[in-house]
Chain A
Amino acid sequence: MNNWNELLKQSQQGNKNSYKKFLTEVQPFVKAVIYKRSENQSIIDDILQETLLAIHNALHTYDSTRSAKSWISVIAKNKTLDYLKSNQHKLSQAEDIADLKMESSNNDTNNYDLEKAMKQVSIKQQEIIVKMKIEGKTAKQTALELEMTESAVKTAAHRAYKLLKEFLEV
């Protein structure tokens, strides 16, 4: 980790090679910090991007006499919390839209749109959506039936909601 201190110090001097090496090496660590606060795989990459941008903008705040790991960790935690706070309503909105569309499918309206939208997600995700949103099963029950872990079901469902939302809103 001392290497990161050195790389950061050189980056502050404008050394692009050190900076590139640092940004590449630091990614697994940043992902681990984000994962501690959000196990949702689909958003980890988004937060990683925001954290890297924040690191770039906060480069002048790094004190080379202090731990680089601690500096990165605080930035990553902060960005994770910011992201979760600002996207909370969007994530639940995505689920709401999926709910609404599922209800409308029961009424035989907009079936065509929904069928098209469902083609955007994988077979597995379609199965999960049908089980959770039409059959009303919980993530745990769905996981048991599909022989998956509960968190994998939640992640797949979340990704599917996002895709459905994007498609249906266009």
Chain B
Amino acid sequence: MTDINTLVNSLEKVKTIRSPYKRSIKWFGLSLALMLIITYAFKYFTQQNMFAYPLYFYIENAILTLVAYCAILSAFLYSSPDEQYQLKAKKLAVFCSVFWIGLFSYCLYHCYSMGHIIHQLKNAMIDYQNFIEILSIGAIPAIWLILMLRKAFPTHKRVIGVLTILGSLTLAMVFSRFLDIVYEPTHMIIWRYTPVLILAILSYWFSDRLLSR
């Protein structure tokens, strides 16, 4: 039984945490910088031209970046005990899920309309290093994000877990795409979208432990 006197006696001056908006911007800014450095390091070794891509590539990446930020902001809002924040978190979670799945579906449709998905599948199966790149770029920011969220009061742990992995790895996915010479939708589906989606879904079952103090 929790005795009020025990709680009162153990009270110390506490340092309040910043608003979820400020914390999300802090994470996003620093993670972008870190991911950029790691991507440039990869680029240095592969000697590729970083900006030689079609316009669509940049539009898709801009949308993915926005979706990633929304997922991260939603996770921060969910970890702040406030009814207004929780409502906003819910809306943002729906928004980013719809957009993410929309882009995924569009990419899938693009593959299908090109008519060579089976052929591409065979070639794409050997490119697992792209997935390793996503993990290398996104691992540290993802771990840092989990630690930041644990410091607050994560309410919907499983949803937060999915949003955390979806947000941080989608951002890593954006950066890892600059490591590819060509834009190939089938490849995108197999080695970028699908692994991120699978990891996000898996995180649903591990989040309770990861986010509990």
Contact = CB atoms under 8 A, between A and B. Distances in A.
B8 A20 contact: yes
A87 to B, nearest CB: 15
Nearest to B2: A49
B13 A61 contact: no
Contacts of B5: 20
Interface string A30-62: 000000000000000000011011101111111
A74 B83 contact: yes
B81 A19 contact: no
Contact of B155 (A20, A56, A74): A74
A70 B77 CA distance: 14
A58 B81 contact: yes
Contacts of B213: 57
B153 A58 contact: yes
B81 A61 contact: yes
A109 interface: no
Interface string B130-163: 0000000000000000000000110100000000
Interface in B10-26: 10-17, 19
B80 interface: yes
Interface size class for chain A? 20 to 34
A11 interface: yes
Contact of A23 (B8, B86, B153): B8
Contact of B16 (A14, A49, A63, A74): A63
B14 A60 contact: yes
A60 B153 CA distance: 9
Q: Which of B13, B81, B213 has the most CB of A within 10 A?
A: B81
A12 interface: yes
Given A70-B83, A70-B84, A78-B155, A52 B14 contact: no
B1 interface: yes
A13 B152 contact: no
Interface of B: 1-2, 4-5, 7-17, 19, 80-84, 86, 152-153, 155, 213
23 contacts: A14-B11, A14-B14, A19-B8, A20-B4, A23-B7, A24-B4, A49-B2, A52-B2, A53-B2, A54-B153, A56-B11, A59-B11, A61-B17, A61-B80, A61-B81, A63-B19, A63-B82, A64-B16, A66-B84, A70-B83, A74-B83, A74-B155, A78-B153
Interface of A: 11-14, 16, 19-20, 23-24, 49-50, 52-54, 56-64, 66-67, 70-71, 73-75, 78
Counting from the closest, the 5 A-B pairs by CB-CB distance are A14-B13, A74-B81, A49-B2, A70-B83, A58-B153
